[in-house]
Amino acid sequence: MGRQIDMVVVHCSDSGWGNAEVINEWHLERGWSGIGYHLVILNGHPISHGDYDPELDGIVESGRDIEDKGAHCKGFNSRSIGICLIGKETFTENQMKTLTQALLEILQHYGLDPDAIYGHNELDDHKTCPNQEVAEIRDRLWSLMS
Ligand SMILES: [Zn+2]
């Protein structure tokens, strides 16, 4: 029997660039046991000041193993999966497509409905992350699953 999962928390990196490896380094620097998110969705800018690579736009990378408790949302880590979109305030169409698909697969796998999806800001008043309306993401999922 695996970890009991009944929530998915959507985050953003609050950086214009990055990937799972970079976030892993950032989180190690904070003294954590490596990347706190389970999935990372790239925006085509994996490195600082690098060129946009369309082949890396919307690609999903694995972070922490899904079966391991994450480190991304205080109070909710043991029961949730954490997904991080690379970006500050704007996210690409490919990222949003990949996010929708990943959420759909997770909800179906765990037998959850779209109300199991939260933005970090909906669980922590001090956060603006993921800097977009997660209600719209839930609505999209509701229409896809109906
Ligand atoms: Zn967050």
What ranges do the domains of the chain cover?
Answer: 7-145
**Closest by Cα among 116, 19, 114, 105 to 58:** 19
Q: What is the pTM of this model?
A: 0.96
For residue 50, what pLDDT is reported?
86
CA of 120 to the centre of ligand 1 (A): 5
Q: Per-residue pLDDT tens, the chain, 146 aa: give them.
A: 689 999 999 999 999 999 999 999 999 999 999 999 999 999 999 999 889 999 999 999 999 999 999 999 999 999 999 999 999 999 999 999 999 999 999 999 999 999 999 999 999 999 999 999 999 999 999 999 98
**Whether 75 contacts 123, CB under 8 Å:** yes
Burial of 110 (0-12, 13-18, 19+ CB in 10 A): middle
Q: Which residues surround ligand 1, an ion (CB under 5 A)?
A: 11, 120, 129
For residue 77, what pLDDT is reported?
97
CA of 27 to the centre of ligand 1 (A): 13
CA of 125 to the centre of ligand 1 (A): 11
CA of 72 to the centre of ligand 1 (A): 6
Sequential DSSP letters for the chain: ------EEEEEE-SBSS--HHHHHHHHHHTTSSS---SEEEEES--STTPPP-GGGEEEEEE-S-TTS--SSSTTTTTTEEEEEESBSS---HHHHHHHHHHHHHHHHHHT--GGGEEEHHHH-TT--TTSS-HHHHHHHHHHHH-
Q: Give 84's strand partners.
A: 11, 40
CATH number for 7-145 (one of 3.40.50.2300, 3.40.50.300, 3.40.80.10, 3.90.1150.10): it is 3.40.80.10
For residue 89, what pLDDT is reported?
95
For residue 49, what pLDDT is reported?
86
CA of 111 to the centre of ligand 1 (A): 24
**Whether 56 contacts 80, CB under 8 Å:** no
CA of 33 to the centre of ligand 1 (A): 17
CA of 50 to the centre of ligand 1 (A): 24
Q: Which two tokens stand for residue 68?
A: 């391991």
CA of 132 to the centre of ligand 1 (A): 11
Burial of 8 (0-12, 13-18, 19+ CB in 10 A): buried
For residue 1, what pLDDT is reported?
66
